[in-house]
Amino acid sequence: MTLAALQEEIRVAAARAAPLRLRGGGSKDFYGNEPRGELLDVRRYAGIVDYEPSELVLTARGGTALAEVEQALAEHGQCLPFEPPHFGAATLGGCIAAGLSGPRRAAAGALRDFVLGVKLIDGRGRLLEFGGRVMKNVAGYDVSRLVAGSLGTLGFIAEASVKVLPRPSAERTLAFEMAEAPALDAMNRWAGEPLPVSASAWHEGTLYVRLSGSAAAVQAAAPRLGGSELADTVAFWRSLREQTHAFFSGEAPLWRIAVPSATAPLELGGAQLLEWNGGLRWLRSSLSAQEIRAAAERAGGHATLFRARDKSAGAFTPLDPVRLRLHRELKRAFDPAGILNPGRMYAQF
Amino acid sequence: MGEAVSLSLSRRHEVARALREFLPARAVLFDEEDTRPYECDGLTAYRQLPMVVALPETEEQVRRTLQICSSMNVPVVPRGAGTGLSGGALPLGDGVLLSMAKFMRVLRVDARARIAVVQPGVRNAAISEVAAPHGLYYAPDPSSQIACTIGGNVAENSGGVHCLKYGLTLHNVLRVRGLTIDGEPLELGSEAPDAPGLDLLALAVGSEGMLFVVTEVTVKLLPKPQCARVIMASFDDVEKAGSAVAAIVAAGIIPAGLEMMDRPATRAVEQFVGAGYDLDAAAILLCESDGTPAEVEDEIARMEAVLTGAGAVRLAVSRDEAERLRFWSGRKAAFPAMGRISPDYYCMDGTIPRKRLAEVLHFIAELGKKYGLRCPNVFHAGDGNLHPLILFDANNPDELHRTEQFAAEVLEKCVAVGGTITGEHGVGVEKINQMCTQFRPDELELFHAVKRAFDPRGLLNPGKAVPTLARCAEYGRMHVHRGALQHPELARF
Ligand SMILES: Cc1cc2nc3c(=O)[nH]c(=O)nc-3n(C[C@H](O)[C@H](O)[C@H](O)COP(=O)(O)OP(=O)(O)OC[C@H]3O[C@@H](n4cnc5c(N)ncnc54)[C@H](O)[C@@H]3O)c2cc1C
C-alpha cells in the first residue's frame, strides 16, 4: 500500500463526509469510546524505515507490528523505555495514537516523551511532517507530541520516529509485605532518593519494586531496600504491562485512575492495583462514573473507564469548557470534515 | 509632528490609561527611558521600543491586562528575563510588552511528591536552590540558568548540558497554568499522569509565547545523584572527537553530559577562566557520569575504554568535586569568553544526527576558510546540538554580510543532513526565514491553524516563529535570485 493511496482514501472520505475508523492491529479497540465509521486498516503500510542504534532512534511506518519493532531493538540491546502495552497484535502507529505507557513510566517518562517526529496524513489527506529524528528540535509547535495519545482523531500516523534507550543490564524485583498507606509512603520516599527504581506496584498487601540499571547500581541498592527477591521479575512486570495478571480478569468495570503519586489511599472500595509510585490506581468497581470521577478530581486527578461493557458515561473525564473549545478548534485544524475517528475520544468531536 | 506619530502617541496614552485603572503607575511604563531596557532580548541586533510596558504582579492583573489589550486590539509580547537568543521577546512598536518578571514566588515545594509549583518569573537556578535541602533538584540547566525564568524555559523548551540523560523542559514540566489572550484561565497537563484529552501541554511547551501567557508552572524534581565525575578526553582531530560521541552512545552509555569544545573554543575560554583544558588538543570532550559511587566508577571505566578506542590521546578524570566543577566552568563560560576575543559573535543552534557530527564539523571548518571568519564550536555533542559561534565585527559591513551567508549555509546543511534549524533557542524572529526551508506550506498552514485555535485574532506575540506563506514565497524568490539566503541583522553581544 502506498501513502498516495491512503491519502486518496482519506480525501475521498472527507469529500463524502464519511467517518473513517483508523485501525492497526485492533488490540486497542476496547480503549476510548466506541469506534465508528468505515474501517481503514493501516497495517498494510508497514515496515521499519531506519534504525541506527548509535543514534538511539528508530523510524517505522505506522502499520509496523510493535513486536517487530521491539524485536529489532532487542537485537541491539535496546528497548522502548516507556514499556508500552501490546494487548495483542499492536502496531507502532496504534501504540502512539493510544499513548499508553507501561510500568517504567514513572521512572523513564511517558510515551510522548520519546516521540521525536511523525509523518501524518491529516483529515484533508495532506501528508505533513513534524519533528524529526534528532533529540532536540524546537522549530514550530510540537505537533508530533500532540499526536501522541490523540486516538487517531488528528490524523493517520504514517510514520513515526521514537527515541530508544539501551536495555538495563541488570534487573531485580523486591517484594515487601505492606499495607497500602505505608506502601505509598515507601514508593514516594524511594522515588525521591537516588536509587535505580524502574517500576513499582502494590496489590493486596504486597509492594513490588523493580531495580534496573548497571549491575553495580542494582547490587548496591537492593540491600538498602530490604524485602525479599521475586523469582521471575520479567513475567511479573509483563503481567502488569499486558494486563494478564489475575487482577485484570473478570467482568467488573476496570477504571484507570490517575492521581498525584503521593495521594492517600482512595477510599472507593473494590479491588485496586497501584503502579507508578501511586500515580496510577487501577480499580475494579461498579460504582457510578460520577462517584469515581468525583473522588479522582478531589485528589487532583482524573479517571478513565478503561475496560467496560457499558461506556455510556464516556471513557474519559470530561473537559472544562475552555479546553473543550480548544480541542474542537484543533480538531477543525487537522480534520475540518470531522471524519477521523469521530467520538473516539470525546463525543463532541 | 506628523499625523501618524500623533495618532500613535494618543494610542499609547489611551492604552496606558486603560492599564492604569488597575495597575499602579510604576507598573505601566511608556517613557522612552523606562521602556529602553525592554527593547531587545539576548539577540540584541533586533531592537524595537514597545508602545507600553506592563509589569503586573498578580494573575488577576495579567488577566485584566490581556482583556484590555484584546478589547483594544493591541498585540501583546510576553517576556521573562529577556535572555532568549532568537528575538522571541522582541517588542512590537504598537504593542504592550508584558513583563512577567515580578512573578518571583515559589508557591510550593512538595518533597514527598517531588514537585515544585512556581510562578513564571522564578529563575531556573532558584528552583534547584529551594529544592536542595530536600536532596532534590530541577534537571534542565541552560547555561543562562542564573538569569532565565521558568516561564521563558517553558516557552522555549530550553535544554542544558544534562538533558541527554534527564530531558528538556518538556520532560520535566508536569503542569502549566496560563491565560489566553482573552484572559481565560487554562490548565494544561496535571500533577496526575496523563491528563485527559489531547496533550495540550506538549503543544504549549516551546510555543514561544504565542499561544498563551504562562502564569504558574509545576515542575518535576529529581533526587540529586550521590556523586558525579567527568572525563576530559583530548583528540588530535575534531572529526575523531565527533565519531567518539557516536561510539559512546553506540556502546549503550547515556552520559549525564557529553559536551564538545574545539581548540579555538578551549583557547578562548582558558585565558578567561583557567579550567585546566588541554590546549594542544584539536578538540576535547567532557563526558560526565553520575549516580551511586559504584555506578559512576563502572561507567567511567567503560567510557574511558570507548574514548581510547575512538582515538582519544589523553584522558583526565576529575578527582574531586572541585575539579569537576572547574572542568565545567570553562564550558559554562564559553559564550562570555567569545565576547572577549571578538567584538561580536553569532551563535547558531542547529541539531543534526550524531553520526553526521564529524562531517558537519568539517563542513563548518571549510566554510570558515571560505568566508575568512573564525568559528569556534562549543556544543551539546551528545544530543547532536551544534552551537557554532561565528566571530565577526558588526561594524564591518562586509564581515556582517559574510557572517549572514556563513550562518545560512550552516543551517541549511543541518536541515539537509536530516536535522533542524533550532535545537533549543527557538525560531523567534531570527530563524523565521529558515522555517520556510524546514517546513512545507501545508505544515506552516497547520501551525497557523494551531495558533488560531488559541488566539483567533493573532494578538499574542504575532509575527514570531511561524512565517506567513507570503513571506516564504518572497524569501524563496530572493533565495533563487541571489543564490544565498538573506538574514536580517545579526546578533551583537
Ligand atoms: C549566555 C546565554 C546562554 C544560554 N544558554 C542556553 C542553554 O544552554 N540552553 C538553552 O536552551 N537556552 C540557552 N539560552 C537561551 C535562553 O536563556 C533561554 O531561551 C531561556 O529559556 C529564555 O528565558 P527568559 O526568561 O530569558 O525568556 P525571554 O527571553 O524573556 O523570553 C523567551 C520567550 O518566552 C516567551 N515568554 C517568556 N515568559 C513567558 C510567559 N510567562 N508566558 C508566555 N511566554 C513567555 C517570550 O515571549 C519569548 O518568546 C542562553 C542564553 C544566553 C544569553
What does the pLDDT look like over A265-319, one tens digit per residue?
Answer: 999 989 999 999 999 999 999 999 999 999 999 999 999 999 999 999 999 999 9
Residue stretches of chain B with pLDDT short of 70:
1-4, 477-493
Instruction: Please judge whether A333 and B453 are an interchain contact, meaning their C-beta atoms are less than 8 angstroms apart.
Output: yes
Quick one: cell of A306?
A: 478503561
Q: Is the dihedral of CA A64, A67, A68, A71 positive or negative?
A: positive
> DSSP readout, B157-179?
T---TTHHHH--HHHHEEEEEEE
Instruction: Please judge whether B443 and A345 are an interchain contact, meaning their C-beta atoms are less than 8 angstroms apart.
Output: no
Quick one: cell of A133?
A: 529524528
pLDDT for B479 equals: 45
Residues A89-114 have a mean pLDDT of 98
Distance B153 CA to ligand 1 centre (A): 5
Instruction: Please judge whether B190 and A302 are an interchain contact, meaning their C-beta atoms are less than 8 angstroms apart.
Output: yes
pLDDT for B482 equals: 35
Instruction: Please judge whether B223 and A217 are an interchain contact, meaning their C-beta atoms are less than 8 angstroms apart.
Output: no
Instruction: Please judge whether A126 and B191 are an interchain contact, meaning their C-beta atoms are less than 8 angstroms apart.
Output: no
Chain A residue with minimum CA distance to B188: A323
Distance from the Cα of B420 to chain A's closest Cα (Å) equals 6
Segments of chain A assigned E as strands = 20-23, 38-41, 48-52, 57-61, 78-79, 115-121, 127-131, 156-163, 165-166, 170-177, 197-203, 206-213, 228-229, 254-258, 271-275, 280-284, 302-307
- pLDDT over threshold 90, residue A1: no
The amino acid sitting at B85 is: L
pLDDT per residue as tens digits for the range A290-304: 999 999 999 999 999
Asked if the C-beta of B298 comes within 8 angstroms of chain A's C-beta atoms, the answer is: yes
Q: Which residues on chain B are in Cβ contact (under 8 Å) with A195?
A: 223
Q: Return the CATH number of A3-166+325-334, one of 3.30.465.10, 3.40.1260.10, 1.10.340.30, 3.30.70.3170.
A: 3.30.465.10
Q: Which residues on chain B are in Cβ contact (under 8 Å) with A216?
A: 292, 294-295, 297-298
Asked if the C-beta of B224 comes within 8 angstroms of chain A's C-beta atoms, the answer is: yes
Q: What does the alpha-carbon distance between residue B164 and residue B166 come to, in Å, rounded to a whole number? A: 6
Q: pLDDT higher for B65 or A54?
A: B65
Q: Which atom of ligand 1 is nearest to the CA of B208?
A: 49
Q: What does the alpha-carbon distance between residue B203 and residue B211 come to, in Å, rounded to a whole number? A: 9
Quick one: cell of A177?
A: 509485605
Distance from the Cα of A80 to chain B's closest Cα (Å) equals 14
pLDDT per residue as tens digits for the range A108-126: 999 999 999 999 999 999 9
**Closest Cβ–Cβ partner in A139, A145, A192 for B421:** A139
Size of interface A-B (CB pairs under 8 A): 262
